Structure 1
Amino acid sequence: MPSISAHARVPKQGRSRQSFERIIEGTLDLLRERPYDQITLAEICERSEVSTGSLYGRVAGKDELLRAVQVRFLERLAEQFNTEAARIAGETRGLAQVVPAVVSSMGTLLMENASVLRSFMLRSATDEAIEAAGKQAANDNHAKFIALIQACSPEIRHPQPERAINSGMLLIYATQARFLGLDSVGGLSQAGQWTQLLEDLSDMMLAFLMFTPPKR
Protein backbone atom coordinates (compact mmCIF):
# COMPACT_ATOMS: atom_id res chain seq x y z
CA MET A 1 0.00 0.00 0.00
CA PRO A 2 1.56 3.34 -1.02
CA SER A 3 1.81 6.12 1.53
CA ILE A 4 0.05 9.47 1.21
CA SER A 5 3.40 11.01 0.26
CA ALA A 6 3.27 8.99 -2.98
CA HIS A 7 0.37 11.20 -4.09
CA ALA A 8 0.80 14.45 -2.16
CA ARG A 9 3.46 16.76 -0.80
CA VAL A 10 2.89 16.14 2.88
CA PRO A 11 4.13 19.01 5.06
CA LYS A 12 6.27 18.33 8.12
CA GLN A 13 5.63 21.49 10.11
CA GLY A 14 2.77 21.64 12.59
CA ARG A 15 0.42 24.29 11.21
CA SER A 16 0.86 23.24 7.58
CA ARG A 17 0.36 19.61 8.53
CA GLN A 18 -2.86 20.49 10.34
CA SER A 19 -4.13 22.26 7.22
CA PHE A 20 -3.32 19.22 5.11
CA GLU A 21 -5.13 16.93 7.55
CA ARG A 22 -8.18 19.18 7.33
CA ILE A 23 -8.11 18.79 3.55
CA ILE A 24 -8.08 14.99 3.89
CA GLU A 25 -10.85 14.98 6.50
CA GLY A 26 -12.92 17.56 4.64
CA THR A 27 -12.78 15.47 1.48
CA LEU A 28 -13.81 12.34 3.38
CA ASP A 29 -16.73 14.21 4.94
CA LEU A 30 -17.94 15.30 1.51
CA LEU A 31 -17.54 11.77 0.12
CA ARG A 32 -19.93 10.56 2.80
CA GLU A 33 -22.49 12.98 1.36
CA ARG A 34 -22.15 12.47 -2.39
CA PRO A 35 -19.89 11.01 -5.13
CA TYR A 36 -16.51 12.55 -5.84
CA ASP A 37 -17.42 13.65 -9.36
CA GLN A 38 -20.09 15.88 -7.80
CA ILE A 39 -17.61 17.57 -5.46
CA THR A 40 -15.49 20.57 -6.44
CA LEU A 41 -12.10 21.59 -5.12
CA ALA A 42 -13.69 24.87 -4.04
CA GLU A 43 -16.12 22.94 -1.82
CA ILE A 44 -13.27 20.91 -0.37
CA CYS A 45 -11.36 24.08 0.46
CA GLU A 46 -14.42 25.64 2.05
CA ARG A 47 -15.16 22.54 4.14
CA SER A 48 -11.50 22.25 5.15
CA GLU A 49 -11.11 25.98 5.84
CA VAL A 50 -8.00 26.24 3.67
CA SER A 51 -7.23 28.36 0.64
CA THR A 52 -7.13 27.00 -2.89
CA GLY A 53 -3.46 27.90 -2.98
CA SER A 54 -2.81 25.75 0.08
CA LEU A 55 -4.52 22.79 -1.55
CA TYR A 56 -2.56 23.12 -4.79
CA GLY A 57 0.58 23.41 -2.74
CA ARG A 58 -0.01 19.84 -1.61
CA VAL A 59 -1.57 18.08 -4.61
CA ALA A 60 -1.45 18.64 -8.36
CA GLY A 61 -5.21 18.39 -8.74
CA LYS A 62 -8.42 16.58 -7.91
CA ASP A 63 -7.30 13.13 -9.08
CA GLU A 64 -4.16 13.21 -7.00
CA LEU A 65 -6.12 14.37 -3.97
CA LEU A 66 -8.50 11.42 -4.28
CA ARG A 67 -5.57 9.00 -4.35
CA ALA A 68 -4.14 10.55 -1.19
CA VAL A 69 -7.53 10.44 0.53
CA GLN A 70 -7.92 6.78 -0.44
CA VAL A 71 -4.68 5.92 1.34
CA ARG A 72 -5.94 7.42 4.60
CA PHE A 73 -9.37 5.82 4.19
CA LEU A 74 -7.92 2.36 3.52
CA GLU A 75 -5.61 2.64 6.53
CA ARG A 76 -8.63 3.21 8.76
CA LEU A 77 -10.63 0.48 7.06
CA ALA A 78 -7.80 -1.98 7.71
CA GLU A 79 -7.92 -1.07 11.40
CA GLN A 80 -11.65 -1.74 11.43
CA PHE A 81 -11.12 -5.17 9.87
CA ASN A 82 -8.38 -5.92 12.40
CA THR A 83 -10.68 -4.98 15.27
CA GLU A 84 -13.56 -7.08 13.96
CA ALA A 85 -11.34 -10.08 13.25
CA ALA A 86 -9.95 -9.95 16.80
CA ARG A 87 -13.46 -9.65 18.24
CA ILE A 88 -14.75 -12.63 16.25
CA ALA A 89 -11.72 -14.71 17.26
CA GLY A 90 -12.41 -13.97 20.90
CA GLU A 91 -16.18 -14.36 20.91
CA THR A 92 -16.93 -17.29 18.58
CA ARG A 93 -16.16 -20.99 18.49
CA GLY A 94 -16.71 -23.41 15.64
CA LEU A 95 -17.88 -23.04 12.08
CA ALA A 96 -21.54 -22.47 13.01
CA GLN A 97 -20.60 -19.33 14.96
CA VAL A 98 -17.63 -18.07 12.97
CA VAL A 99 -19.29 -18.01 9.54
CA PRO A 100 -22.33 -15.89 10.54
CA ALA A 101 -20.04 -13.54 12.47
CA VAL A 102 -17.75 -13.11 9.47
CA VAL A 103 -20.64 -12.54 7.05
CA SER A 104 -22.27 -10.02 9.38
CA SER A 105 -19.06 -8.13 10.14
CA MET A 106 -18.05 -7.88 6.50
CA GLY A 107 -21.51 -6.63 5.60
CA THR A 108 -21.52 -4.10 8.43
CA LEU A 109 -18.14 -2.69 7.46
CA LEU A 110 -19.20 -2.39 3.84
CA MET A 111 -22.48 -0.73 4.76
CA GLU A 112 -20.88 1.76 7.16
CA ASN A 113 -18.32 2.78 4.54
CA ALA A 114 -20.50 2.38 1.45
CA SER A 115 -20.76 6.03 0.48
CA VAL A 116 -16.99 6.51 0.45
CA LEU A 117 -16.21 3.11 -1.07
CA ARG A 118 -18.62 3.81 -3.92
CA SER A 119 -16.59 6.79 -5.14
CA PHE A 120 -13.35 4.80 -5.09
CA MET A 121 -14.88 1.80 -6.85
CA LEU A 122 -16.41 3.95 -9.57
CA ARG A 123 -13.14 5.84 -10.02
CA SER A 124 -11.14 2.61 -10.24
CA ALA A 125 -12.54 2.00 -13.73
CA THR A 126 -10.37 4.83 -15.07
CA ASP A 127 -7.65 5.23 -12.43
CA GLU A 128 -5.09 2.41 -12.19
CA ALA A 129 -3.66 3.66 -8.90
CA ILE A 130 -7.09 3.73 -7.25
CA GLU A 131 -7.88 0.29 -8.65
CA ALA A 132 -4.61 -1.30 -7.51
CA ALA A 133 -4.80 0.12 -3.99
CA GLY A 134 -8.44 -0.92 -3.63
CA LYS A 135 -7.79 -4.49 -4.78
CA GLN A 136 -4.79 -4.88 -2.50
CA ALA A 137 -6.72 -3.56 0.49
CA ALA A 138 -9.68 -5.84 -0.21
CA ASN A 139 -7.41 -8.88 -0.49
CA ASP A 140 -5.60 -8.01 2.74
CA ASN A 141 -8.79 -7.32 4.67
CA HIS A 142 -10.63 -10.39 3.46
CA ALA A 143 -7.61 -12.54 4.32
CA LYS A 144 -8.17 -11.69 7.99
CA PHE A 145 -11.70 -13.09 7.87
CA ILE A 146 -10.69 -16.04 5.69
CA ALA A 147 -8.13 -17.02 8.31
CA LEU A 148 -10.90 -17.24 10.92
CA ILE A 149 -12.84 -19.72 8.81
CA GLN A 150 -9.68 -21.65 7.92
CA ALA A 151 -9.11 -22.20 11.63
CA CYS A 152 -12.30 -24.29 11.56
CA SER A 153 -11.03 -26.50 8.71
CA PRO A 154 -11.39 -29.77 10.68
CA GLU A 155 -15.17 -29.23 10.59
CA ILE A 156 -15.31 -28.60 6.84
CA ARG A 157 -16.49 -31.53 4.74
CA HIS A 158 -15.80 -30.06 1.33
CA PRO A 159 -12.84 -32.01 -0.16
CA GLN A 160 -11.07 -28.74 -1.05
CA PRO A 161 -11.55 -26.54 2.02
CA GLU A 162 -9.32 -23.67 0.91
CA ARG A 163 -10.99 -23.45 -2.48
CA ALA A 164 -14.45 -23.62 -0.90
CA ILE A 165 -13.64 -20.87 1.61
CA ASN A 166 -12.14 -18.56 -1.01
CA SER A 167 -14.99 -19.09 -3.49
CA GLY A 168 -17.60 -18.62 -0.79
CA MET A 169 -16.04 -15.41 0.51
CA LEU A 170 -15.76 -14.01 -3.00
CA LEU A 171 -19.47 -14.60 -3.59
CA ILE A 172 -20.39 -13.13 -0.21
CA TYR A 173 -18.43 -9.95 -0.90
CA ALA A 174 -19.78 -9.61 -4.45
CA THR A 175 -23.37 -10.08 -3.29
CA GLN A 176 -23.08 -7.61 -0.43
CA ALA A 177 -21.34 -5.03 -2.61
CA ARG A 178 -23.99 -5.34 -5.31
CA PHE A 179 -26.82 -5.06 -2.80
CA LEU A 180 -25.28 -1.89 -1.38
CA GLY A 181 -24.83 -0.45 -4.86
CA LEU A 182 -21.07 -0.03 -4.55
CA ASP A 183 -20.72 -0.36 -8.30
CA SER A 184 -23.25 2.38 -9.03
CA VAL A 185 -24.56 5.66 -7.68
CA GLY A 186 -26.93 5.06 -4.78
CA GLY A 187 -27.56 1.98 -2.66
CA LEU A 188 -30.18 -0.70 -3.08
CA SER A 189 -30.52 -1.86 0.50
CA GLN A 190 -33.50 -1.86 2.83
CA ALA A 191 -33.11 -2.81 6.48
CA GLY A 192 -35.31 -5.90 6.46
CA GLN A 193 -33.95 -7.20 3.19
CA TRP A 194 -30.37 -6.59 4.31
CA THR A 195 -30.80 -8.61 7.49
CA GLN A 196 -32.39 -11.45 5.54
CA LEU A 197 -29.57 -11.35 2.98
CA LEU A 198 -26.91 -11.70 5.69
CA GLU A 199 -28.76 -14.69 7.16
CA ASP A 200 -29.13 -16.32 3.74
CA LEU A 201 -25.46 -15.79 2.89
CA SER A 202 -24.43 -17.34 6.19
CA ASP A 203 -26.65 -20.37 5.62
CA MET A 204 -25.41 -20.82 2.04
CA MET A 205 -21.76 -20.54 3.10
CA LEU A 206 -22.22 -23.10 5.85
CA ALA A 207 -24.06 -25.46 3.52
CA PHE A 208 -21.34 -25.15 0.90
CA LEU A 209 -18.53 -25.82 3.38
CA MET A 210 -20.36 -28.88 4.69
CA PHE A 211 -21.19 -30.14 1.18
CA THR A 212 -19.46 -33.18 -0.31
CA PRO A 213 -19.72 -32.88 -4.09
CA PRO A 214 -20.17 -36.07 -6.13
CA LYS A 215 -17.10 -37.51 -7.76
CA ARG A 216 -16.73 -36.59 -11.41
Structure 2
Amino acid sequence: MPAITAHARVPKQGRSRQSFERIIEGTIDLLRERSYDQITLAEICERSGVSTGSLYGRVAGKDELLRAVQVLFLERMAGQFNTEAERIAREAHGLAQVVPAVVASLGNILKENASVLRSFMLRSASDEAIEAAGKKSFVENHGKFIALLKACAKEIRHPQPDRAIDTSMLLIYATQARFLGLDSVGGQGEASKWNELLQDLSDMMLAFLLFTPPKR
Protein backbone atom coordinates (compact mmCIF):
# COMPACT_ATOMS: atom_id res chain seq x y z
CA MET A 1 0.00 0.00 0.00
CA PRO A 2 2.72 2.54 -0.85
CA ALA A 3 0.32 5.33 -1.86
CA ILE A 4 -1.44 5.18 1.52
CA THR A 5 1.73 6.15 3.37
CA ALA A 6 0.92 9.82 2.69
CA HIS A 7 -1.94 9.49 5.19
CA ALA A 8 -0.99 6.58 7.44
CA ARG A 9 1.97 4.81 9.00
CA VAL A 10 1.82 1.51 7.15
CA PRO A 11 3.68 -1.25 9.01
CA LYS A 12 6.30 -3.36 7.26
CA GLN A 13 5.92 -6.50 9.38
CA GLY A 14 3.51 -9.08 7.99
CA ARG A 15 1.14 -9.45 10.94
CA SER A 16 0.86 -5.71 11.60
CA ARG A 17 0.41 -5.06 7.90
CA GLN A 18 -2.45 -7.55 7.77
CA SER A 19 -4.09 -5.82 10.73
CA PHE A 20 -3.94 -2.48 8.96
CA GLU A 21 -5.37 -4.01 5.81
CA ARG A 22 -8.26 -5.35 7.89
CA ILE A 23 -8.85 -1.84 9.23
CA ILE A 24 -9.06 -0.49 5.68
CA GLU A 25 -11.36 -3.28 4.52
CA GLY A 26 -13.53 -3.01 7.62
CA THR A 27 -13.97 0.70 7.02
CA ILE A 28 -14.98 0.11 3.40
CA ASP A 29 -17.49 -2.53 4.49
CA LEU A 30 -19.07 -0.10 6.97
CA LEU A 31 -19.16 2.69 4.38
CA ARG A 32 -21.26 0.42 2.18
CA GLU A 33 -23.81 0.38 5.00
CA ARG A 34 -23.90 4.02 6.11
CA SER A 35 -22.08 7.34 5.89
CA TYR A 36 -18.71 7.95 7.54
CA ASP A 37 -20.19 10.48 9.96
CA GLN A 38 -22.37 7.70 11.36
CA ILE A 39 -19.45 5.31 11.91
CA THR A 40 -17.24 5.29 15.00
CA LEU A 41 -13.64 4.19 15.28
CA ALA A 42 -14.77 1.63 17.85
CA GLU A 43 -17.08 0.08 15.25
CA ILE A 44 -14.27 0.02 12.71
CA CYS A 45 -12.00 -1.76 15.17
CA GLU A 46 -14.71 -4.26 16.07
CA ARG A 47 -15.47 -4.98 12.41
CA SER A 48 -11.75 -5.30 11.65
CA GLY A 49 -10.89 -7.40 14.68
CA VAL A 50 -8.11 -5.05 15.80
CA SER A 51 -7.59 -2.97 18.92
CA THR A 52 -8.14 0.78 19.10
CA GLY A 53 -4.51 1.15 20.07
CA SER A 54 -3.45 -0.63 16.89
CA LEU A 55 -5.57 1.74 14.80
CA TYR A 56 -4.13 4.84 16.46
CA GLY A 57 -0.67 3.42 15.89
CA ARG A 58 -1.32 3.80 12.15
CA VAL A 59 -3.47 6.94 11.80
CA ALA A 60 -3.90 10.08 13.88
CA GLY A 61 -7.69 9.91 13.81
CA LYS A 62 -10.84 9.36 11.83
CA ASP A 63 -10.15 11.98 9.15
CA GLU A 64 -6.73 10.58 8.38
CA LEU A 65 -8.17 7.08 8.18
CA LEU A 66 -10.74 8.17 5.60
CA ARG A 67 -7.98 9.69 3.47
CA ALA A 68 -6.05 6.41 3.56
CA VAL A 69 -9.19 4.45 2.71
CA GLN A 70 -9.92 6.78 -0.20
CA VAL A 71 -6.48 6.18 -1.72
CA LEU A 72 -6.98 2.41 -1.86
CA PHE A 73 -10.61 2.63 -2.93
CA LEU A 74 -9.88 4.98 -5.82
CA GLU A 75 -7.05 2.73 -6.96
CA ARG A 76 -9.55 -0.11 -7.19
CA MET A 77 -11.99 2.07 -9.09
CA ALA A 78 -9.23 2.98 -11.53
CA GLY A 79 -8.84 -0.72 -12.19
CA GLN A 80 -12.56 -0.99 -12.92
CA PHE A 81 -12.36 1.90 -15.37
CA ASN A 82 -9.35 0.30 -17.07
CA THR A 83 -11.15 -3.02 -17.42
CA GLU A 84 -14.29 -1.39 -18.82
CA ALA A 85 -12.37 0.85 -21.22
CA GLU A 86 -10.47 -2.14 -22.57
CA ARG A 87 -13.70 -4.12 -22.95
CA ILE A 88 -15.45 -1.30 -24.80
CA ALA A 89 -12.45 -0.87 -27.10
CA ARG A 90 -12.70 -4.57 -28.02
CA GLU A 91 -16.45 -4.91 -28.31
CA ALA A 92 -17.91 -1.56 -29.39
CA HIS A 93 -17.49 -0.30 -32.94
CA GLY A 94 -18.50 3.16 -34.04
CA LEU A 95 -20.13 6.03 -32.17
CA ALA A 96 -23.56 4.35 -32.00
CA GLN A 97 -22.07 1.51 -29.95
CA VAL A 98 -19.37 3.37 -28.04
CA VAL A 99 -21.67 6.06 -26.60
CA PRO A 100 -24.17 3.71 -24.86
CA ALA A 101 -21.31 1.50 -23.70
CA VAL A 102 -19.51 4.45 -22.12
CA VAL A 103 -22.68 5.83 -20.52
CA ALA A 104 -23.64 2.43 -19.07
CA SER A 105 -20.14 1.62 -17.83
CA LEU A 106 -19.67 4.98 -16.16
CA GLY A 107 -23.09 4.77 -14.54
CA ASN A 108 -22.71 1.20 -13.33
CA ILE A 109 -19.27 1.82 -11.83
CA LEU A 110 -20.69 4.81 -9.96
CA LYS A 111 -23.74 2.80 -8.90
CA GLU A 112 -21.66 -0.10 -7.62
CA ASN A 113 -19.49 2.23 -5.53
CA ALA A 114 -22.05 4.91 -4.68
CA SER A 115 -22.36 4.22 -0.96
CA VAL A 116 -18.62 4.63 -0.42
CA LEU A 117 -18.15 7.50 -2.87
CA ARG A 118 -20.90 9.44 -1.13
CA SER A 119 -18.82 9.74 2.05
CA PHE A 120 -15.78 10.95 0.10
CA MET A 121 -17.80 13.54 -1.79
CA LEU A 122 -19.52 14.87 1.32
CA ARG A 123 -16.19 15.09 3.15
CA SER A 124 -14.46 16.81 0.21
CA ALA A 125 -16.27 20.06 1.02
CA SER A 126 -14.14 20.44 4.15
CA ASP A 127 -11.09 18.27 3.44
CA GLU A 128 -8.66 19.49 0.77
CA ALA A 129 -6.84 16.15 0.56
CA ILE A 130 -10.07 14.25 -0.07
CA GLU A 131 -11.15 16.85 -2.63
CA ALA A 132 -7.83 16.78 -4.51
CA ALA A 133 -7.73 12.98 -4.68
CA GLY A 134 -11.32 12.87 -5.89
CA LYS A 135 -10.70 15.41 -8.65
CA LYS A 136 -7.57 13.59 -9.79
CA SER A 137 -9.45 10.30 -9.95
CA PHE A 138 -12.30 11.94 -11.86
CA VAL A 139 -10.00 13.40 -14.51
CA GLU A 140 -7.96 10.23 -14.99
CA ASN A 141 -10.90 7.83 -15.11
CA HIS A 142 -13.08 9.97 -17.35
CA GLY A 143 -10.06 10.43 -19.60
CA LYS A 144 -10.12 6.71 -20.38
CA PHE A 145 -13.69 6.91 -21.65
CA ILE A 146 -13.16 10.24 -23.38
CA ALA A 147 -10.33 8.63 -25.37
CA LEU A 148 -12.79 6.01 -26.64
CA LEU A 149 -15.17 8.71 -27.82
CA LYS A 150 -12.40 10.71 -29.47
CA ALA A 151 -11.42 7.61 -31.42
CA CYS A 152 -14.78 8.04 -33.17
CA ALA A 153 -14.11 11.72 -33.97
CA LYS A 154 -14.68 11.26 -37.70
CA GLU A 155 -18.32 10.39 -37.04
CA ILE A 156 -18.98 13.40 -34.80
CA ARG A 157 -20.78 16.19 -36.64
CA HIS A 158 -20.53 18.85 -33.95
CA PRO A 159 -18.09 21.52 -35.19
CA GLN A 160 -16.12 21.31 -31.93
CA PRO A 161 -15.91 17.57 -31.21
CA ASP A 162 -13.57 17.77 -28.21
CA ARG A 163 -15.75 20.36 -26.55
CA ALA A 164 -18.89 18.36 -27.34
CA ILE A 165 -17.40 15.21 -25.82
CA ASP A 166 -16.20 16.98 -22.67
CA THR A 167 -19.53 18.73 -22.16
CA SER A 168 -21.46 15.52 -22.73
CA MET A 169 -19.36 13.58 -20.25
CA LEU A 170 -19.77 16.26 -17.58
CA LEU A 171 -23.54 16.28 -18.03
CA ILE A 172 -23.74 12.48 -18.05
CA TYR A 173 -21.70 12.24 -14.85
CA ALA A 174 -23.61 15.04 -13.09
CA THR A 175 -26.96 13.44 -13.91
CA GLN A 176 -25.89 9.96 -12.82
CA ALA A 177 -24.29 11.28 -9.63
CA ARG A 178 -27.43 13.23 -8.77
CA PHE A 179 -29.65 10.21 -9.41
CA LEU A 180 -27.45 8.11 -7.12
CA GLY A 181 -27.41 10.78 -4.42
CA LEU A 182 -23.64 11.15 -4.36
CA ASP A 183 -24.03 14.73 -3.16
CA SER A 184 -26.40 13.84 -0.33
CA VAL A 185 -27.38 11.01 1.95
CA GLY A 186 -29.55 8.54 0.08
CA GLY A 187 -30.32 8.18 -3.61
CA GLN A 188 -32.45 10.70 -5.43
CA GLY A 189 -33.93 8.48 -8.15
CA GLU A 190 -36.10 5.39 -8.19
CA ALA A 191 -34.06 2.22 -8.68
CA SER A 192 -36.55 0.96 -11.23
CA LYS A 193 -35.81 4.00 -13.42
CA TRP A 194 -32.05 3.43 -13.60
CA ASN A 195 -31.95 1.58 -16.94
CA GLU A 196 -34.32 4.11 -18.47
CA LEU A 197 -32.00 6.89 -17.34
CA LEU A 198 -28.99 5.22 -18.96
CA GLN A 199 -30.92 4.83 -22.21
CA ASP A 200 -32.09 8.45 -22.20
CA LEU A 201 -28.59 9.74 -21.45
CA SER A 202 -27.14 7.62 -24.25
CA ASP A 203 -29.71 8.93 -26.73
CA MET A 204 -29.13 12.54 -25.70
CA MET A 205 -25.35 12.24 -25.85
CA LEU A 206 -25.39 10.61 -29.26
CA ALA A 207 -27.84 13.21 -30.58
CA PHE A 208 -25.63 16.04 -29.32
CA LEU A 209 -22.46 14.61 -30.86
CA LEU A 210 -24.28 14.20 -34.18
CA PHE A 211 -25.87 17.65 -33.96
CA THR A 212 -24.88 20.35 -36.43
CA PRO A 213 -25.64 23.77 -34.91
CA PRO A 214 -27.16 26.35 -37.25
CA LYS A 215 -24.77 28.94 -38.61
CA ARG A 216 -24.88 32.24 -36.74
Is the TM-score greater than 0.5? yes
Q: Secondary structure at the match of 1:195?
A: helix
What are the equivalent positions in structure 2 for 1:132-147 lying under 5 Å apart? 132-147=132-147
Match of 1:17 in 2: 17
Quote how far apart the aligned CAs of 1:137 are. 0.1
Match of 1:184 in 2: 184
Match of 2:33 in 1: 33
Q: Which whole-Å CA distance do the structure 1 matches of 2:180 and 2:114 have between them?
A: 7
Give a deviation string over 1:161-198, Cα, whole Å, max 9, x none.
00000000000000000000000000123233111111
Q: Secondary structure at the match of 2:59?
A: coil
Match of 1:80 in 2: 80
Deviating 4+ runs (over 4 angstroms): none
Count of residues in Structure 1 that have an aligned counterpart in Structure 2: 215
What are the equivalent positions in structure 2 for 1:110-149 lying under 5 Å apart? 110-149=110-149
What are the equivalent positions in structure 2 for 1:129-208 lying under 5 Å apart? 129-208=129-208
TM-score normalised by structure 1 residue count? 0.98
Please report the RMSD computed on the Cα atoms of aligned residues, expressed in angstroms.
0.8
Quote how far apart the aligned CAs of 1:35 are. 0.1
**Long gaps (5+) in structure 1:** none
TM-score normalised by structure 2 residue count? 0.98
Match of 1:65 in 2: 65
Which amino acid letter does the alignment assign opposite residue 57 of structure 2? G
Match of 1:211 in 2: 211
Q: Which whole-Å CA distance do the structure 2 matches of 1:159 and 1:192 have between them?
A: 37
**Long gaps (5+) in structure 2:** none
Which amino acid letter does the alignment assign opposite residue 68 of structure 2? A
Q: Which whole-Å CA distance do the structure 2 matches of 1:36 and 1:191 have between them?
A: 23
Quote how far apart the aligned CAs of 1:73 are. 0.2
Percentage of pairs with the same residue: 81
Match of 2:43 in 1: 43
Match of 1:107 in 2: 107
Which amino acid letter does the alignment assign opposite residue 19 of structure 2? S
Quote how far apart the aligned CAs of 1:157 are. 0.4
Quote how far apart the aligned CAs of 1:3 are. 1.5
Which amino acid letter does the alignment assign opposite residue 18 of structure 1? Q
Which amino acid letter does the alignment assign opposite residue 88 of structure 1? I
